[in-house]
Structure 1
Amino acid sequence: MTTLTPTSELSPGGSAAEVPAGLPDVATLARLAGEFFAALPNGAVPQPPSGVGLPSGLSGIQGLSAPAALPSPANAASGAAAQAAGSGGSPTSAHSAQSTPSPHALSLGKSSPALVPNAAASNGLPEQAAVGAPGAVPRAGGQALGVPEAYAPALPSVPSAPANLPVPSTPYYFLGEASTLPSAVSGPSFYFAPPAGSGSSAFDPTVVPTPAASARPPFDVHAIRRDFPILQERVNGRQLVWFDNAATTHKPQSVIDRIAWFYAHENSNIHRAAHELAARATDAYESARQKVARFIGAGSVEEIIFVRGATEAINLVAKTWGTKNVGEGDEIIVSNLEHHANIVPWQQLAAEKGAKLRVIPVDDSGQVLLEEYKRLLNDRTKIVSVTQVSNALGTVVPVAEIVDLAHRAGAVALVDGAQSVSHMRVNVREIGADFFVFSGHKVFGPTGIGVVYGKRELLEDMPPWQGGGNMIADVTFERTVFQPPPNKFEAGTGNIADAVGLGAAIDYVERIGMENIARYEHDLLVYATRQLQPIPGVRLIGTARDKASVLSFVLKGYTTEEVGKALNQEGIAVRSGHHCAQPILRRFGVEATVRPSLAFYNTCEEVDALIRVVQRLSGARR
């Protein structure tokens, strides 16, 4: 076996005889470096910062000095804002901001140096060990790399990370350790056991372990991208651009690691066992339930039911609460914006019971007409079921007002949050929802796991949906006594590992901060809309004032499938079709759209790549 000599072990003289075969000698490196710096504008040669020296083998070489220090996040942000103001809003990089920029200075613009894998080694391993949770290690750069600096003043003010962030005590940050974020209480020796002296692990909704603002690093989209391994994939020889986030989101490494850890160290069925792995699995599962309750502002963990996803969640409510409470002549209200999953179960219930399904219309922008909704409400209305964010158009629906009007009419209200929980802060008690549902895979968690939130008094009055193990308290051949909620609705062996993975996904987005995510995505959506809308032949479908991260459009002269295929050739993934929302698309006279949908790991550079393809197609339009 041949062992290469590390370059750090070369003697100061660096003679050619001491250099391993195939590597250039120091003299060649020095000559190339001198030629490079001599070719810089004005013959500028960067000077080393104080305290930074060159390797001994390269010291004293004419024209060669240490690289300039990277700016601190605060300095980079302030420099970026100043440069943006002075350039008339032209996007430039925070790294290239200088107090007196040279007219020939290189502008990185919206380039994404972090789009290449962080690991440069041929074996794929990182060059250095992680010292914090993904996305929580500060990198040099501006407050929001990837957003054009013309929009920088609109971004949230996020304090810089402290200089001396603590290193996690173990590499298993995904088990719940706060890592670089301060912890409210010191954890027990065994993560699956309650803290000593705590009595019980009862959920307290008033206690929200939000890290101090000073502990949250600046929002760096390129650092965040490194947390998502799939974003390093190449499609058709191009870097993958994932604009299909409304269909599913990708998973950060911490979620992948957490699920793998569960199967390697905790795998067991939950509840009713005395052995240690059952205790670990149960605590991990119930901890995930607590995280969900906190994440959506529920009043109790008993109000959180794990299901397969939002579709199953709505079916559960329709086939339990609906079956018991909706009768002949009663009415169910949905909006024109709904996904098929929030239409079909209610149609089935209405057909079974002889009830009527009524629909809230929308205006030409795609927003619901509240005055028309008020006219639909009456004493026969039993339930109102609406989306918070349209999956097809991106419209943000005023659900709090819709829920309040439903309650005044004596009806209950379900809110479909599948498209909202990853984009904005949700609090079910502030909304007033009786039921709230979402899917884990839409919020950077695993597939096959979702949530039903239901008010405790409603859940207690509802019959179980499925029968079997876990949901019973006592069984004889004469009768069965059911467990109280939420176990009453979780028959059989649930998706334990993916519930735990969902908890890890919630940890991840909370470390970044939902408000930071919402602001970044809003600015990215504004940027993409301004770029796409003027292209000849483009028609945007859904132009409501309040939108979240969805651009739905058609291009004259092309089918949506043709546009989708052209984008795929450039490595850009979008959804083309009816998006399981045919009624709302037909409201706008189309059967299908192209739907780019954004997430906080997308960049303006990726938007530009999409725009170039659409512009090319537009110019060649038949």
Structure 2
Amino acid sequence: MVNDIAIARNDFPILKEVVNGQPLAYLDNAATTQKPQAVIDALVHYYQHDNANIHRGVYTLAERATEQYEAVRQQVATFINAASVAEIVFTRGTTTSLNWVAQTYAPTILQAGDEIVISIMEHHSNLVPWQQVAQRTGAKLRYVELTASGELDLAQYGDLLNARTKIVSLTHVSNVLGTINPIKKMTAMAHAVGATVVIDGAQATGHFPVDVQELDCDFYAFSGHKMYGPTGIGVLYGREALLTAMPPAEFGGEMINLVTRQKTDFKPAPAKFEAGTMPIAQVIGLGAAISYLQHLGWPAIIAQEQQLTAQAYQELTAITGVTVYGPTEPTRRSSVLSFNLQGLHPHDLATVLDMQGVAIRAGHHCAQPLMTDLGVSATARASFAFYNNQADLRQLVTAVQAAKEFFKL
């Protein structure tokens, strides 16, 4: 493992792949990031040396696995500056985390006539669960709209908030526009009317430091696979008092103190939320990913991603017929660039780019209401990670120009 951002890509074996005769330029990091060798090694080591179920056995392997699993919980708490390890719940991913809050916590505080505020830029994982709970409880779902620059309209948001607002659930970073939302300010505004604040951090935790105490949010959700860790593992942060009051979403082994014929006494949080056999190897892999990020350091990561994003924005917008969506100021957006080439469907553009070894995402990005708001059915999306470099950027821009020329656009 290296600590030089310029050669960090050497830690990622898959980046040496050749696709359609071209070096792989992997630019779909908003969907999932690639894994460094340190994470791969952590997974293999667990299965080769420590594979056992946790919290149950008193034999050596079980104790080693349990110790590693719980050490990562402490590591995650430190990583996002939670007040206690009791505030860290392991889940299958951001989607599961958000669903659990919507399905189990929200119904305990909502009744007919109450209001839930989300934004028009939300991923379906932070939209559909709130639709469902609103339908079940009789609450009303209200939306924060966008400004012309692709940012949330804070004035309109302030007008939405009132005594009926019980829950505000927002994305920290848009997976389409790349917009970094002013969560600390928006949380303070929500708390001023007594609302609980839930944050979707899926697109944030792998790109810049997150401090849940500074943000002052009540819940924060994120996934391991979007921050160089394994798939199948996520985190739900919740204030300890809220997790204590929140009912479990699933029931089964290990999350109970006592079961009788007619009654069950659950363990305290976070154990009461982690029913059955948890994704132990994935948790350990998440710990390795966090260690890797901390080893590189946020200043180097942020500088690399901002430089690539700013240059890509400049070069793509210089191509006649290309529209890039979202904020123009690099410091106000993450490393996500959604764009369209006039006259060519995003899926066709993505296929042409793949023939040049460039991997991007095309579609509605699980954000159909936002697509409607933008007046498009889909976009192409290039998203950068710190391991991307100038060669990847050149492949992207050259391939878009080649597509334009090939289709005579």
Match of 1:278 in 2: 62
Q: 2:238 matched to 1:454?
A: yes
Q: 1:607 aligns with which of 383, 387, 393?
A: 393
Task: Specify every segment of 5 or more residues in structure 1 that has no aligned partner in the other structure, as ranges.
Answer: 1-133, 137-218
Match of 1:596 in 2: 382
Match of 1:220 in 2: 5
Task: Specify every segment of 5 or more residues in structure 2 that has no aligned partner in the other structure, as ranges.
Answer: none
Matched AA of 2:376: V
Q: What is the CA-CA distance between 1:614 and the residue it aligns to? A: 1.2
Contact 2:19 2:357 in 1 (8 A): yes
The Cα offsets for residues 504-559 of structure 1, whole Å up to 9 and x where unpaired, read as 00000000002221121111111111111110110111125310001110001111
Q: What is the CA-CA distance between 1:254 and the residue it aligns to? A: 0.4
Cα distance, 1:299–1:562 mapped onto 2, change above 3 Å: same
Q: 2:109 aligns with which of 325, 329, 334?
A: 325
Match of 1:140 in 2: none
Q: What is the CA-CA distance between 1:618 and the residue it aligns to? A: 2.4
The Cα offsets for residues 454-487 of structure 1, whole Å up to 9 and x where unpaired, read as 0000010111111111110111112111100000
The Cα offsets for residues 199-231 of structure 1, whole Å up to 9 and x where unpaired, read as xxxxxxxxxxxxxxxxxxxx332x211100000
Q: 2:134 matched to 1:267?
A: no
Match of 2:93 in 1: 309
Match of 1:239 in 2: 23
Contact 2:53 2:62 in 1 (8 A): yes
Q: 2:211 aligns with which of 427, 430, 436?
A: 427
Match of 2:338 in 1: 552
Contact 2:24 2:357 in 1 (8 A): yes
- Cα distance between partner residues in 2 of 1:530 and 1:376: 35
- Cα distance between partner residues in 1 of 2:40 and 2:264: 39
Matched AA of 1:533: T
Matched AA of 1:354: G
Matched AA of 1:314: L
1:296-375 equivalences in 2 (<5 Å): 296-375=80-159
Q: 2:363 aligns with which of 570, 577, 585?
A: 577
Match of 1:163 in 2: none
Structure number with the higher helix fraction is 2
- Cα distance between partner residues in 2 of 1:490 and 1:524: 39
- Cα distance between partner residues in 2 of 1:565 and 1:365: 29
Find the structure with the greater CA-based Rg: 1
Match of 1:495 in 2: 279
Match of 2:36 in 1: 252
Matched AA of 1:447: T
Provide the secondary structure at the position in 1 that maps to 2:51.
coil
Q: 2:269 matched to 1:485?
A: yes
Contact 1:367 1:544 in 2 (8 A): no
Match of 1:444 in 2: 228
Contact 1:425 1:515 in 2 (8 A): no
Q: 2:263 matched to 1:396?
A: no
- Cα distance between partner residues in 2 of 1:220 and 1:432: 31
State the 4+ residue runs in structure 1 displaced beyond 6 angstroms.
none
The Cα offsets for residues 426-463 of structure 1, whole Å up to 9 and x where unpaired, read as 00000001000001000000000000000000010111
Using the size of structure 1 for normalisation, the TM-score is: 0.65
- Cα distance between partner residues in 1 of 2:184 and 2:150: 18
Match of 1:113 in 2: none
Larger RCO: 1 or 2 (CA < 8 Å, sep 6+): 2
- Cα distance between partner residues in 1 of 2:283 and 2:91: 9
- Cα distance between partner residues in 1 of 2:265 and 2:215: 34
Contact 1:336 1:362 in 2 (8 A): yes
Contact 2:39 2:285 in 1 (8 A): yes
- Cα distance between partner residues in 1 of 2:104 and 2:266: 14
Give the percent of matched residue pairs that are identical in Structure 1 and Structure 2. Answer: 48
Match of 2:2 in 1: 135
- Cα distance between partner residues in 1 of 2:225 and 2:149: 28
Q: 1:524 aligns with which of 308, 312, 328?
A: 308
Q: What is the CA-CA distance between 1:619 and the residue it aligns to? A: 3.2
Contact 1:381 1:409 in 2 (8 A): yes
Provide the secondary structure at the position in 2 that maps to 1:269.
coil
Contact 1:527 1:604 in 2 (8 A): no
C-alpha RMSD over aligned residues: 0.9
Cα distance, 1:544–1:389 mapped onto 2, change above 3 Å: farther
Using the size of structure 2 for normalisation, the TM-score is: 0.98
Number of residue-to-residue matches in the alignment: 406
1:66-105 equivalences in 2 (<5 Å): none
Matched AA of 1:296: I
Structure number with the higher strand fraction is 2
- Cα distance between partner residues in 2 of 1:453 and 1:346: 18
